[in-house]
Amino acid sequence: MHSVTICRVSSVSFPELNKKIMFVTPIRWGILGTGLIAAELATALKAMPDADIVAVGSRTTASADAFADRFGIPHRHASYRDLAHDPDVDIVYVATPNTLHAENSLMCLNAGKPVFCEKPFTVNAKEAEEVIRIAKERKLFLMEAMCTRHMPIVREAKRLIEEGAIGDVRMMHGDFGMATNLDPDHRLMNLRMAGGVLLDVGIYPLSLASYLLGPIEDAVATAYIGKTGVDYQIAVSMRHGEGRVSALTASLEARSPHETVIMGTKGRIHLKWPAFKGDKLTLVLDGGESREIHMPYESNGYQFELSDAMQCLREGRSESAIMPLDETLALMRIMDRIRGQIGLRYPGE
């Protein structure tokens, strides 16, 4: 098989954002929550010249102070509500556990703050509908944080598909598996905290399939429900428009290749590990020619979704074109349907 590298650059950004930032007033961020994902986003924000983290909110003074000291954040709040009402905050990143996403997003929106909410957007579609309704009523920006589709290499795959590089796209395979060996009390294993593999891990290939193949029309799922009552492993077959199909797997028990393959009538695209934050793809064409595209980046990869959110704020847009609210809601409805099929309900539903 003949292999040719056709793209290698030292750093990348979105084409529409690929302008040198000069004399731009930074967007002032408040971070609601102090867990691992909050720290990842804070790390990305600290490296961005057009962003400032001005406040953090936690449920305890000790946690807020520790996080603020780590990232040099001036305002420390020992309650989520105080952060939501901080007058120096332009937008709030909601990074609390899954079961609090809707409650905390609504609190911030009702305080007049735009919201960038970590995936999964909410626990179910009913909650998502309410959060979106309030944001639209108050004319405030709202966006689900979905780093996958914002990655430059994924955007390049989207461009190749749209220009017909692999012909008519017909299928996609995607996986995301981790051998976690987590304690049963960990939030991912906890039914009361809306744990399980679908909402936290499976959502990556699910959202990617919707982005690359189009809206999901139907889904059929099977899963292994573990001893804690949540889905430990799941397999989903989906139908998209124009007869396109996708097959997705996710696991908390097995280390998978983390590869996405998009197949068309003239070739296929391989998104390499880790598919959710990767920097290279292989384009395989009929006849066996293989071409690699490399798009490395600085920082930890979360800056691309953050840049999109800040661009929307500066342009006065209420939602992202890359992760639109209608699609966020559609994906929550699909996950509700999948959970119905595998018999997974969370307390209070």
Query: What CATH number should be reported for the domain holding residue 297?
Result: 3.30.360.10
* pLDDT tens track for 53-89: 999 999 999 999 999 999 999 999 999 999 999 999 9
Six token digits for residue 128: 């998502």
Cα separation, 281 vs 272, whole angstroms:
6
Domain count, the chain: 2
Q: In angstroms, rounded to a whole number, what is the distance separating the alpha carbons of residues 178 and 182?
A: 10
User: What tokens appear for 15 in the block?
Assistant: 């084409």
Neighbours of 181 (CB within 10 A): 8
Residues 181 and 53 grouped into a single domain: no
| Residue 212, domain extent | 148-342
What secondary structure, in 3-state letters, does 215-233 show? CEEEEEEEEEECCCCCEEE
- Asked, for residue 48, whether it belongs to a domain, the answer is yes
Q: Over the Cα atoms of the chain, what is R_g?
A: 20
Q: Are residues 330 and 241 in the same domain?
A: yes
Distance CA 239, CA 168 (A): 15
Asked whether 177 and 249 are in contact (CB, 8 A), the reply is yes
102 part of a folded domain: yes
How many whole angstroms separate alpha carbon 231 and alpha carbon 251?
Answer: 9
Gap between the Cα atoms of 59 and 81, Å rounded: 10
Please provide the distance, in angstroms rounded to a whole number, between the alpha carbons at the two ends of the chain. 53
Query: For the chain, how many residues are written?
Result: 349
Asked if 208 contacts 149 with a C-beta cutoff of 8 angstroms, the reply is yes
Whether residues 125 and 169 fall in one domain: no
The predicted pLDDT at position 275 comes to 59
The pLDDT, as a whole number, for residue 15 is 43
311 with 251, same domain: the answer is yes
Asked whether residue 308 falls in the same domain as residue 335, the answer is yes
Q: Amino acid identity of 34?
A: T
**183 lies in the same domain as 259:** yes
Which of 102, 131, 147 is the last residue before a domain boundary? 147
Residues 221 and 336 in one domain: yes
Cα pseudo-dihedral 11, 17, 21, 24, rounded to 10: -150
Residue 134 corresponds to which tokens in the numbers above?
A: 């309030």
Beta carbons of 100 and 37 less than 8 angstroms apart: no
Q: Which of 147, 176, 193 is the last residue of a domain?
A: 147
Give per-10-residue mean pLDDT for the chain (349 aa): 38 46 81 97 97 97 97 97 98 97 98 98 98 98 96 96 98 94 91 96 96 97 97 98 97 93 97 80 92 93 97 97 98 98 95
Q: Domain for residue 233, yes or no?
A: yes
* 282 and 269 in a common domain: yes
Q: Is residue 349 part of a domain?
A: no
Residue type present at position 57: G
Same-domain status, 214 and 299: yes
Report CA torsion sign: 79, 84, 89, 92: positive
Q: Indicate which CATH number applies to the domain containing 125.
A: 3.40.50.720
Residue 166's contacts (CB-CB under 8 Å, 6 or more residues apart) are 160, 262, 263, 264, 265, 266, 267, 268, 269, 283, 285
Q: Is residue 92 part of a domain?
A: yes
Which of 125, 147, 169 corresponds to the end of one domain? 147
283 falls within a domain: yes
Render 188-210 in DSSP notation, one character per residue: GG-GGGT-SHIIIIIHHHHHHHH
3-state secondary structure of 18: coil
pLDDT digits (tens, 9 = 90+) for 16-26: 444 444 457 99
Same domain, 194 and 94: no
142 and 163 fall within a common domain? no
- Same domain for 229 and 334? yes
238 near 219, Cβ under 8 Å? yes
- 3-state DSSP call for residue 168? coil
Please report whether residue 27 resides in a domain: yes
Is 5 among the domain residues? no
Separation between Cα atoms, residue 328 and residue 319, nearest integer Å: 11
Q: So what's the pLDDT on residue 276?
A: 66
Question: Quick one: which of 166, 186, 201, 195 has its CA closest to 274?
Answer: 201
**CB atoms inside a 10 Å sphere around CB 215:** 12
Q: Given this model, what pLDDT does residue 11 score?
A: 43
- Give phi and psi for 73, each to the nearest 5: -100, 125
